[in-house]
Amino acid sequence: MTTIDTRSPDAGSYEFHVFEDEHAHDDAAEHHHETGTMLGFWLYLMSDCLLFGILFAVHAVIGQNYAAGPSPADLFEIEKIALATAFLLLSSITYGFAAINVQQNNAKVMSIWLIVTLAFGLGFLYLEYLEFSHLWHVGATPMASAFLSSFWILVGTHGLHVTGGSIWLVILLVQVQMHGLTPENKRRIMCLSLFWHFLDLIWIGVFSFVYLAGVLL
Amino acid sequence: MSADTDNHASHDNHAHGSYRSYFIGFVLSVILTAIPFYVVMAEVDISLLWAMVIIFGLGAVQILVHVNYFLHVSVGAEDGWQFMSLLFTATVLVIILAGSIWVMFHLHENMMPAHDTIRRVRDLQ
């Protein structure tokens, strides 16, 4: 909003003319005029970003203290990480397609894309479960070394976020089934969209830093 | 509005992107992911330093691709608050990460190895 005041020559008082921001007309998306939920949710994501940043910093500091235990090169199977990365990246683009159909009020197509997204998300979680249970069975538990402590907490926190996002996705699918694409449901779907893409972004840091660089160092 | 946001609006139907913009982001991400994985999995014969440059450099570029094509952050959105909060968070993250690595690296370097400590204590007598 831009406010311009002009002194009217005769009365000697101020008149206020209020103009709408041009940009607000451009994208005319209703959430801009809503409650600010999207901005609030964005600020939550930024705080979550700091949480992950601290976990990355911890891993940078203690991630090479193997305490005579296994090192990343002994433990990680990069082929499986590549597959998990592909799942998460595919789930990001399918969520994008769902978000486009939200704008077009196409509840049916949107639900299909959300189900595809959920399938990729669950595929990612299954691969992570296989990896963690394998590590546990070979004795690479969080208690084994400083490296494994920070590895489990960092990758585990990301995995918990994806689990939370998947549960949220199921709840939203039920909500849309029950009430259709109401403004509230649209807003929730756009919040989860930010959350889901954000998790994919964090995963870039995880596979680059923890897995790829870990195996080489 | 800046030229940047105008450009953005011209090929995006709205703030949530189009099939085209998601597809561009996806293809870029696949390329930027595939290269570092290839370097590690195929055990390409390059120095460790170059491998790290590729992994972290392309990772950083991919993060920017995600921010632009998937999260749709633009300078004008939410009266600039979205972009400002992102810049603030990025600044804090750089301080946390660079500071931790820097301080702890020097702490590690300056910790005397055990055998050195033992020899010095012996020499004192």
- Average pLDDT of the residues in A179-200: 95
Tokens representing residue B93 in the block? 């993250």
Confidence of residue A10 (pLDDT cuts 50, 70, 90): low
Is A116 in the B-facing interface, judged by CB distances under 8 Å? no
User: Is A25's pLDDT higher than 50?
Assistant: no
Percent of chain A with pLDDT over 90: 79
> Are B7 and B53 part of one and the same domain?
yes
* B97–A53 C-beta distance less than 8 A: yes
Positive or negative, the CA dihedral B50, B54, B60, B61 is positive
Using CB atoms within 10 Å of the CB of residue A203, give its burial: 0 to 12 exposed, 13 to 18 middle, 19+ buried: buried
**Please, are residues B53 and B39 in contact by the beta-carbon 8 Å criterion?**
no
Only one residue has tokens 């691969």, namely A127
User: Is A14's pLDDT higher than 90?
Assistant: no
> Are B70 and B11 part of one and the same domain?
yes
Q: Which fold has domain A35-216?
A: Four Helix Bundle (Hemerythrin (Met), subunit A) (1.20.120)
| Structural domain spans, chain A | 35-216
> Are B52 and B27 part of one and the same domain?
yes
Question: Given this model, what pLDDT does residue B39 score?
Answer: 94
Q: Provide the ipTM.
A: 0.80
User: Is A20's pLDDT higher than 60?
Assistant: no
d(CA B101, CA B52): 16
> Are B67 and B10 part of one and the same domain?
yes
pLDDT mean across residues, chain B: 84
> Are B102 and B71 part of one and the same domain?
no
3-state secondary structure (DSSP) of residue B99: helix
Only one residue has tokens 């451009």, namely A26
> Are B42 and B1 part of one and the same domain?
yes
> Are B56 and B86 part of one and the same domain?
no
> Are B15 and B62 part of one and the same domain?
yes
Query: What spatial distance separates the first Cα and last Cα of chain A, rounded to whole Å?
Result: 53
Range with the lowest mean pLDDT among A87-91, A129-133, B104-108?
Answer: B104-108
Q: Which of residues A36 and A185 earns the better pLDDT score?
A: A185
Q: Which structural domain range is residue B54 located in?
A: 1-75
Closest CA to B10 of A53, A163, A26, A146: A26
Tell me the pLDDT of chain B (125 aa) as tens digits.
Answer: 344 444 444 333 445 678 999 999 999 999 999 999 999 999 888 999 999 999 999 999 999 999 999 998 888 878 888 999 999 999 999 999 999 999 998 887 777 677 777 777 788 76
Domains identified in chain B, total number: 2
> Are B39 and B89 part of one and the same domain?
no
- Nearest C-alpha of chain A: how many angstroms from B20? 10
> Are B65 and B84 part of one and the same domain?
no
> Are B61 and B87 part of one and the same domain?
no
Residues in chain A within 8 Å Cβ distance of B19? 97, 100
3-state secondary structure (DSSP) of residue A213: helix
d(CA A86, CA A92): 10
Question: Given this model, what pLDDT does residue A17 score?
Answer: 56
Instruction: Give which of B46, B83, B89 to mutate to test A binding, by max A Cβ within 10 Å.
Output: B89
> Are B63 and B93 part of one and the same domain?
no
Residues in chain A within 8 Å Cβ distance of B17? 96, 99-100
Q: Could you tell me how far CA B60 lies from the centroid of its own chain?
A: 4
- Average pLDDT of the residues in A10-21: 53
Q: Which of residues B93 and A11 earns the better pLDDT score?
A: B93
Question: Given this model, what pLDDT does residue B17 score?
Answer: 76
3-state secondary structure (DSSP) of residue A9: coil
Q: Which of B59, B70, B82 sits opposite A42 (nearest CB)?
A: B82
